[in-house]
Amino acid sequence: MQSFPRKWSSSYLFTEVNGKPVCLVCSQQVSVLKEYNLRRQFETEKYKNLQGQQRLEKVNELLMALKKQQSVFSRSREISDTAVKANYLIANEIKLASKPFSEGEFVKTCMLKAAETVCPEKRQAFANISLTRNTVADRISDLAEDLDSQLKRKVKSFIAFSVAIDESTDITDVPQLAIFIRGVDDILTATEEFVELVPMTDTTTAADIFTALVGALDRVEVDWSRAVSLATDGAPSMTGRKAGVGTKFREKVQAFMVDVRSN
């Protein structure tokens, strides 16, 4: 690939930006880096008749204007990136505190009031942080997806894992099944994570609980041949010898291992 000769800046009022020749007058890119293309573009520009020192001065002026413009764009991107990062941090705090998503607007109002008093020159930076209800909901959804992806990657490294489940009723009288997983990798680093809180909206029989458990573990892509134990809250539906969740769990693991060996 042909390099951009420095003399072309003074000859044709062009410079190189990200490997592409860019006209200093109209900011248009030339797709193919060839002198003929630059010369043809230059002959249509209003500064083509400038000569000697006048042309050099105009080149320097245009180069400085371009650098200033690039600096403004770079600063704008930095401000935008910082605002997005702050947006995620605040959304996470709202989630951890179990606050309504609409609280984001109240938080932003407080931040702007504080900025006006403490650092008025930074007020616009705080104003750039979007904390509408929909934005907070989207950020929390993004965080949940990222945590889910991290858990799936970690689960793939387990050489053995155990599961703990607990079924209880929330303040709206809806039974909720909490599922946790604990595993170790090949260097025996232990990891314990919350997998899912599954609402049991119909019945809470052993079959219902087991179906919810299998669905949650399959969602994070566990290797059933590496399951070693299940801990429960001790309810009869969990510990029944013939049809309890523990029995069903053991039968599934055994059946899975038979399938693996037969294949």
> Could you give the angle at which helices 52-96 and 133-156 cross, rounded to 10 degrees?
80
Looking at the whole model, is its pTM more than 0.75?
no
Task: Return d(Cα 52, Cα 58) in angstroms, integer.
Answer: 10
pLDDT score, position 124: 84
What is the pLDDT, as a whole number, of residue 214? 92
pLDDT of residue 243: 76
At residue 200, the 3 state secondary structure works out as coil
Q: What is the pLDDT of residue 195?
A: 92
Residue ranges of the chain with per-residue pLDDT less than 70: 1-20, 23-59, 66, 69-79, 259-263
Report which residue type is found at 4. F
The DSSP annotation for 84-129 comes to HHHHHHHHHHHHHTT--TTHHHHHHHHHHHHHHHH-GGGHHHHHT-
Per-residue pLDDT, 1: 46
Q: What is the pLDDT of residue 226?
A: 92
pLDDT digits (tens, 9 = 90+) for 10-36: 555 666 666 567 766 555 656 556 665
According to the model, what pLDDT value does residue 90 have?
Answer: 92
Position 24 scores a pLDDT of: 63
Please name which of 212, 159, 208, 214 lies closest in space to residue 182, comparing C-alpha atoms. 159
